[in-house]
Structure 1
Amino acid sequence: MRLEAIAERVGLSASPCWRRIQRLEEGGFIRARVALLDPDKMKVGVTVFVAVKTNQHAMAWAERFCRVVETIPEVVEFYRMSGDTDYLLRVVVPDIAAYDAVYKRLIGSIELTDVSSNFAMERLKYTTALPVNYA
């Protein structure tokens, strides 16, 4: 969103709005400014949610697993979970064959108990915006 549009939305002129944005950056509320790329135009329109289970719960194994996942650029989100799934990954790829290569790289790099893949059929909601009324 452009500065002028933000200023108009919050009822300020551009200069005071810009100073507030800078204070939010300095305070750590704004971590980064990014460009959101269109996954279809980037040829990564297939989203796969990968649930990983392991019987390994040693810190050394967990650190190694994190290092492995960090080397796979198709993994765009990575969470340690509670419940039946130990880790959840969101993977973006152009097609099933590309996902299969990611899967083989993952299972070839570290011992896992179970890997379950679910392909998203349709994106119904997607946002990077956080709810601001709790801050």
Structure 2
Amino acid sequence: MDRIDQKILDLLQADATLAIAAIAEKVGLSVAPCWRRIKKLEDEGVICRRVALVDRRKVNVPMTLFVSVRTTRHAIEWVEHFRKVIADVPEIVEVWRLTGDIDYLLRIVVPDIDAYDAVYKRLIERVELADVSSAIAMEELKYTTAVPTGYIKPSRR
């Protein structure tokens, strides 16, 4: 990858609906080479998928909670069961396995506290957890899905 690939990634992260011609113009390429670069980034898995980002407030899930989970079980079969359970809960939009005192951190979006309580009950009904602690997000100061591309190590083409 090089600086042109970096620019392409930055443009697509900002707006994945950009026409290839528009991207090509912005990065100083003609359409065919630009398309080939994008295709290569997709084939190599650098571009994983293209999605529509939805304003959660406009679809009535304005509340974000961060839920810390601890477990006493650290067996592979427990983790696989946990993966299946969280995959079936659409309100759980992110889950991270952590080091330290907390085993997992979940980000959950819901309309209100009653909806969160229902998610919580579904979760504890299906998977054994040692401790669950929730924090309600009061204000979103920054949110982005774009990853920084400034760390890309140039490769020779």
TM-score, structure 2 length as denominator?
Answer: 0.80
* Paired position in structure 1 for 2:107: 90
SS in 1 for 2:109: strand
* Paired position in structure 1 for 2:129: 112
2:70 to 28, 53, 62: 53
Greater relative contact order structure (CA < 8 Å, 6+ sep)? 2
Q: Provide structure 1 residue ranges, at least 5 long, that are not aligned to the other structure.
A: none
2:40 aligned with 1:26 = no
Encode CA deviations 1:72-99: one digit per residue, 9 max, x unaligned: 1110111111001001111011111110
Structure 1 residue runs of 4 or more that deviate by more than 4 Å after TM superposition = none
Share of identical aligned residues, percent? Answer: 59
2:83 aligned with 1:80 = no
In 2, Cα distance between equivalents of 1:14 and 1:45: 40
In 2, Cα distance between equivalents of 1:27 and 1:58: 32
* Paired position in structure 1 for 2:11: none
Amino acid at match of 1:86: D
SS in 2 for 1:41: helix
In the TM superposition, residue 5 of structure 1 has moved relative to its aligned partner by: 4.2
Encode CA deviations 1:36-88: one digit per residue, 9 max, x unaligned: 11101111111111000111112211211111111111101111110010011
Q: Provide structure 2 residue ranges, at least 5 long, that are not aligned to the other structure.
A: 1-14, 153-157
Amino acid at match of 1:104: K
In the TM superposition, residue 16 of structure 1 has moved relative to its aligned partner by: 2.9
In 1, Cα distance between equivalents of 2:74 and 2:44: 36
TM-score, structure 1 length as denominator?
Answer: 0.92
Amino acid at match of 1:6: I
* Paired position in structure 1 for 2:80: 63
For residues 1-12 of structure 1, what are the structure 2 equivalents within 5 Å? 1=15, 2-3=18-19, 4-12=21-29
